[in-house]
Amino acid sequence: MVLHTWGRNLSQHTHIHCLLPSGVLTQDRQWQPTRKDSYLFPVKAMSVRFKKEMLRRINQSKDTHGNLLADAKEKAWVVYSKPVLQTTESVVGYLSRYCNRLGLNPSQLTHQEGGRINMNYKDYRTKRIQKMCCSVGELLRRLLLHVLPKGMMRTRYYGFMANAVGVKAIVQIRQNLNEQPVEKAEHAKERPCYPNCKSKVMVLISIKVRP
């Protein structure tokens, strides 16, 4: 999970990016993949669970606002989830750029007369390059919005990737994946299903080629 606090113009836009593996490491240290390659869990069920957990955590806090919490319980929550639109490598590469630095590149800045700064950024709504002109003090203020309080981490690892178990767990997963015979997996996909008994134990005996 990566905590992302800024928008393209360094405004405060706090949200979290999560990368979820398509499987788990079971208690007996075996890798269990998802049942379908393109399926993780139903979005509607995730919305219900997220709402329940979020309200429970808010209710445990000392700064609970009664009316606001009551209104939130009555509303339907929407959790947005979609398949990856790009390759896995591009998604990981995108998130890695935000793990240890802010979303500002010096090439975006140009100095203007009068001590002001021009900053170029891409507006995701219009898909166009916009220009923001501000004072040096305003630019510093926007940068300081994204300095995390002491003790808060920008990147966290959970499950089999947690710092305490990550190294050993990943070794075990790789061993599990290597132990799975490729031939068996290929046969399970390529064997035809007999229409009458729905059996997949048909075995290819020979192939005859007509002259």
Show the tokens assigned to 20.
């979820």
Which are the contacts of 119, defined by CB distance < 8 A and separation ≥ 6?
A: 9, 10, 104, 108, 109, 131, 132, 133, 134, 139
Q: Is residue 58, in this structure, part of any structural domain at all? A: no
Q: Is residue 99, in this structure, part of any structural domain at all? A: yes
Name the pTM for this structure.
0.61
Q: What is the mean pLDDT of residues 57-68?
A: 72
Q: What is the mean pLDDT of residues 18-45?
A: 81
Q: Is residue 204, in this structure, part of any structural domain at all? A: no
Counting the structural domains of the chain, the total is: 1
Segments forming the whole domain that contains residue 158: 2-38+83-189
Largest distance between two CA atoms of the chain: 87
Q: What is the mean pLDDT of residues 124-130?
A: 86
Residue 1 has pLDDT above 80, yes or no: yes
Q: Is residue 61, in this structure, part of any structural domain at all? A: no
Higher pLDDT, 125 or 160: 160
Residue 192 has pLDDT above 60, yes or no: no
Say how far apart CA 19 and CA 1 lie, in whole Å: 7
Burial class (CB in 10 A: 0-12, 13-18, 19+), 103: middle
Q: Is residue 75, in this structure, part of any structural domain at all? A: no
Q: Is residue 180, in this structure, part of any structural domain at all? A: yes
Q: Is residue 78, in this structure, part of any structural domain at all? A: no
Task: Please give the pLDDT value at position 88.
Answer: 73
> Considering only 65-69, 134-138, 162-166, which range has the smallest mean pLDDT?
65-69
